[in-house]
């Protein structure tokens, strides 16, 4: 069990919101399956993700991540109100973590992706718009008619099934822009697979991560590659602490096998 002593420090971050946040009207839950290591079928994970949709904005993120964020805030607040021997001790070790890390915040025509490298949250504007091709193929599940579309997102071929019976041009991750809600989406290797399992009316504040470092995709990608190539070196540069020699190979392998990224 690891415990962290809160050290109050000032770090300069840019706050991303210039407008008042809105509340969702609808929440969609997707069962999301994905590999953490594309070379190992045994690394398949299954996690519930949520899509909160408002009038002019939406947010897609892991449901477990939303719970984790809420519980860590509550834990921090309790720890600050109840110091132990004059110290504020924060322990998140018993709170289940999410495996699905990215968040996607859409406001109007702007789509921003949030992701994490070594505990630091980054945000970049999506520079990829999927040009969907509507396919003359349908299927019916529980009286709903679903239509097929295909598109390319960076180097991935994406198949999406959507329904015009829910005329909302939304979907999981950045898979949006179709004439109806996306109910299923997956890449041609099935490294990621999203399946809608619940849709309900829900009013909840649409609030993505606030404390972030803003960048662009190419810079983010470069930093992630550098970290995966030499995680011990990146850890030293960020903290000034050295990974024990006996752990370097293990740490390097662990991060290099975490290689399945939607982008």
124/102 Cα distance (integer angstroms)? 11
Q: What integer pLDDT is reported at residue 64 of this predicted model? A: 80
Closest to 175 in 3D by CA, of 188, 190, 191, 194: 194
Query: pLDDT tens-digit profile of 152-194?
Result: 999 899 999 999 999 999 999 999 999 999 999 999 999 999 9
Closest to 212 in 3D by CA, of 124, 135, 128: 124
Q: What integer pLDDT is reported at residue 86 of this predicted model? A: 65
Strand partners of residue 115? 122
Q: What integer pLDDT is reported at residue 4 of this predicted model? A: 29
CA distances from 60 to 35, 106, 147, 188 (A): 19, 9, 22, 22
pTM of the model: 0.81
Q: Is the pLDDT of residue 6 over 70?
A: no
Q: Is the pLDDT of residue 40 over 80?
A: yes
All domains of the chain, ordered by start, with CATH?
21-256 (2.50.20)
* Out of 74-78, 200-204, 225-229, least confident range: 74-78
> Which of 91-100, 152-161, 225-234 is the most confident on average?
152-161
Q: Is the pLDDT of residue 35 over 70?
A: yes
Q: What integer pLDDT is reported at residue 242 of this predicted model? A: 86
């Amino acid at each position: 069990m690891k415990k962290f002593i809160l050290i109050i420090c000032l770090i300069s971050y840019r706050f991303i919101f210039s407008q008042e946040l809105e509340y969702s009207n609808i929440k969609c839950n997707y069962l999301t399956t994905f590999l953490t290591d594309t070379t190992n079928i045994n690394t398949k994970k299954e996690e519930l993700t949520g899509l909160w949709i408002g009038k002019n904005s939406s947010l897609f993120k892991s449901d477990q991540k939303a719970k984790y964020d809420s519980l860590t805030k509550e834990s921090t607040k309790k720890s600050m109100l109840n110091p132990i021997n004059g110290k504020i001790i924060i322990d998140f070790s018993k709170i289940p973590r999410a495996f699905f890390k990215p968040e996607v915040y859409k406001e109007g025509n702007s789509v921003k992706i949030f992701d994490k490298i070594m505990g630091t949250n980054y945000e970049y504007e999506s520079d990829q718009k999927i040009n969907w091709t509507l396919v003359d193929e349908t299927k019916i599940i529980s009286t709903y008619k679903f239509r097929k579309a295909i598109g390319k997102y960076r180097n991935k071929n994406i198949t999406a099934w959507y329904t015009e019976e829910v005329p909302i041009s939304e979907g999981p991750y950045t898979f949006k822009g179709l004439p109806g809600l996306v109910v299923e989406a997956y890449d041609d290797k099935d490294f990621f697979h999203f399946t809608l399992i619940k849709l309900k009316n829900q009013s909840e504040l649409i609030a993505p991560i606030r404390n972030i470092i803003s960048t662009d995709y190419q810079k983010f990608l470069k930093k992630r590659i550098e970290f995966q190539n030499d995680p011990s070196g990146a850890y030293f540069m960020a903290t000034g602490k050295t990974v024990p020699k006996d752990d370097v190979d293990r740490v390097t392998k662990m991060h290099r096998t975490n290689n399945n990224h939607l982008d």
